[in-house]
Chain A
Amino acid sequence: MALEQISRVIDGKRKIVKKPELLAPAGNLEKLKIAVRYGADAVFIGGKDFGLRSNADNFSIEEMAEGVEFAKSFNARIYVTTNIYAHNENMSGLEEYLEGIQGAGVSGIIVADPLIIETCKRVAPKLEVHLSTQQSLSNWKAVQFWKEEGLERVVTARETGHEEVKKMKEKVDIEIEAFIHGAMCISYSGRCTLSNHMTARDSNRGGCCQSCRWNYDLMMDTGNQQQEDQAMFTDDSSPFAMSPKDLNLIMSIPKMCDIGIDSLKIEGRMKSIHYIATVVGVYRKVIDAYCDDPDHFQINPKWVEELAKCANRDTASAFYEGTPSYKEQMYGEDNQSRKTNYVFSGLVLDFDIETNIATIQQRNYFKPGDTIEFFGPESEGFSQVVDTIWDEKGNKMEAARHPLQIIKIKVEQPVYPYNMMRKNKGKEHQTS
């Protein structure tokens, strides 16, 4: 693709005119709506069948239709993941299912198995077909193959780097979607059956139990019957582990925009609304700021910090910026989920500009004296200390203890419905 199609000088200032789509995950309608409100151009969701998160909430056809309607009002699109590798027994019901998805107004499906690709083209031709990362698509010639098969878009393998994706984009006229944030397989996607072997759960049909994230002892068979096998670790080192740090490509967004990647994808259909709001919100700002003025763009350190506030694990740029070393993996205690200092505490329902009182739905315990911060798509966010907390009837409360309870507090700057409030636990410790 020629460079001038990607950027153009408008009123003396260069702008990226081919802005990539920001694609967000959603495990249910609430998350879908948050993703759209926080700036996602498209949202991918799972249905009841043929998807890879069998333990997620997942959408009924009716919920898909509602999601599509909502997204439309924000000019956003919905994709449905149907990326299992089907067994014979999964073949029945596929046609009706795809017809249902098409009927719901969904824009496209994300697929790995040619069975589903061809069935979709036959029975639900209005749906775009996007090749899933489960195909571990790693070279331009394979991209060419899928282009000739009539696919609108391909998702690259997590193992591909910037130069590789650039070449794919140059060689083949097809939309390319690349992951920018979230957890990922440490194996080539679709090429791991650890789960099948260890727990009889089929990883390629949504049963993955993440055996890769367990600990193992790396041993060497000495080949000598008399001799014990040798441990390839010492007592004070951590066991062998295969946990990758989560992907985080915030610093790579400019170069991804520059080569015209069509869609930048955030992983995490199982993640909370707080996670989705934070990550989508940050990437929305980065993409908008870069595309508006690529020649004077600088990453705002606040955006990077913001991403860390919802992180379960450390993050890294993985293969996009070179070959990951041991530093991009987690061993020992790091292998466990890392708790951030921040906890999602409330969702803003309303704000009274006369009194500066915000009405908030409680999502986690907080009390007067806690340091909190508000964020949302309308502003850069602000931090304050909780003063008095009232219940709906105006009674003072010692603390907001009850999930989903409606409470009111005074805020120092305007907030908007669907803004979120998170508590800084670190500061709580310092003061108590």
Chain B
Amino acid sequence: MMKPELLVTPTSVNDISVLADAGADAFLVGEEFFGLRLAGEFNRNDVKKAIEIAHQKGKKVYVAMNAIFHNDKVDFLADYIDFVNRVGADAIVFGDPAVLMTAREVAPDIKLHWNTETTATNWYTCNYWGRKGASRAVLARELNLDSVVEIKDHAEVEIEVQVHGMTCMFQSKRMLLGNYYRYQGTTMEIQRQGQEENLYLYDQERDNSYPVFEDENGTHIMSPNDICMIDELDELVEAGIESIKIDGILKSSQYLQVVTKAYRKAIDALVEDEDTYFDIREELYQSVADIQPKNRPLDTGFFFKETVY
């Protein structure tokens, strides 16, 4: 059985070494100007340092450029791609075709991971982006496990699947928090993404809380629960999914360490001897559940859920 890459999104440069030691194989970093909903803000210097540290430890670093770009940012793409290429990033994560077009011009050899989040929903389209130059497709989180496995069976590109953490449900270009404050006539400081971020939308009917924040890409609304597939990894790994991801957004560095260690153990056990995995998976789940923030219930996302339309 092939061992999938364990990909983690770190909160700062300091996380790289610690999370590498905890068992992460790869990291996704970047800055808000180019990337969406990152766990931490990495300026160019941070990206460079993160790559140095990770590469010393034999780990990979991918750089996020998956924002939806308007004309005003197109001119900045080439320089950033050139930088990312020069500092030796292992791949660029993109959603907007403008990044693909620019990469062809500036750094034709750099690997590209296609990640629009919500629209990677069938294997044909994953392969389409593969033919356009992507080496990996990051699947939508709104797919069930059977669909994920079927995509993998037909995929000509690597497949990445998020197995842990929060997911984004909504992105608006409008400043919906700021607008609401101004509508109310209050002028509250709009908090930026980070540890102090703690606003949420409460849905009375469902008794759910949806984290919400604003940044330069607009307003983002996040899922009420955290996905946790640590005890359900067998089918994904057996299917040969190349990369499984822990998203660290709105999580602490300590939390990510514990969760990364737990997933490391799970993957290693699973690949070595499935029975061992089945023996320890409840214990591993519990180790994650124990540190789970009280307002963030764990669930299995859409992996075992049917969606109608």
Give chain A's interface residues, CB within 8 Å of chain B.
54, 85-91, 112-115, 118, 136, 138-142, 144-146, 157, 159-160, 163-164, 167-168, 186-188, 190-194, 196-198, 200-202, 204-207, 212, 214, 216-223, 232-234, 237-238, 240, 242, 244, 319, 323-326, 329, 331
Contacts and interface: CB of A to CB of B under 8 A. Distances in A.
Nearest to B223: A197
B307 A207 contact: yes
Given A194-B169, A326-B182, A115 B295 contact: no
Nearest to A117: B128
B56 interface: no
Contacts, number: 209
5 contacts: A136-B68, A141-B77, A142-B96, A188-B68, A232-B188
User: Which 5 A-B residue pairs are closest in the complex by CB-CB distance?
Assistant: A207-B309, A141-B98, A145-B97, A326-B179, A216-B201
B227 to A, nearest CB: 12
B176 A242 contact: yes
B173 to A, nearest CB: 4
A238 to B, nearest CB: 8
Interface string B202-243: 111110111010000010010110000000000000000000
Interface in B109-134: 116-119, 121-125, 128-129
Contact of B71 (A139, A212, A214, A324): A139
Query: Interface of chain B, helix or strand or loop or mixed?
Result: mixed
Interface stretch (B80-88, B142-150, B255-263, B283-291): B142-150
> Could you say which interface size class chain B belongs to?
35 or more
Contacts of A145: 97-98, 100-101
Interface of B: 68-71, 73-74, 77, 96-98, 100-102, 116-119, 121-125, 128-129, 140-143, 147, 150-151, 154, 169-177, 179-184, 188, 198-206, 208-210, 212, 218, 221, 223-224, 295, 302, 305-309
A299 to B, nearest CB: 27
Nearest to B124: A115
B47 to A, nearest CB: 23
A151 to B, nearest CB: 12
Given A85-B119, A232-B188, A217 B202 contact: yes
A218 B170 contact: no
Among A54, A91, A160, A188: residue with most chain B CB under 10 A: A188
B107 to A, nearest CB: 15
A194 B170 contact: yes
B121 A193 contact: no
Contacts of A140: 71, 74
A327 to B, nearest CB: 8
A326 B183 contact: yes
A90 B308 CA distance: 12
B76 to A, nearest CB: 11
A160 B180 CA distance: 22
B10 to A, nearest CB: 22
B170 A115 contact: no
A190 B269 CA distance: 38
A317 B104 CA distance: 37
A348 B181 CA distance: 49
A266 B186 CA distance: 36
Contacts of B68: 136, 138, 157, 159, 188, 191
Nearest to B203: A216
Contact of B118 (A193, A240, A242): A193
Nearest to A136: B68
Nearest to B182: A326
Among B141, B202, B209: residue with most chain A CB under 10 A: B202
A217 B182 CA distance: 16
Contacts of B199: 218-221, 232
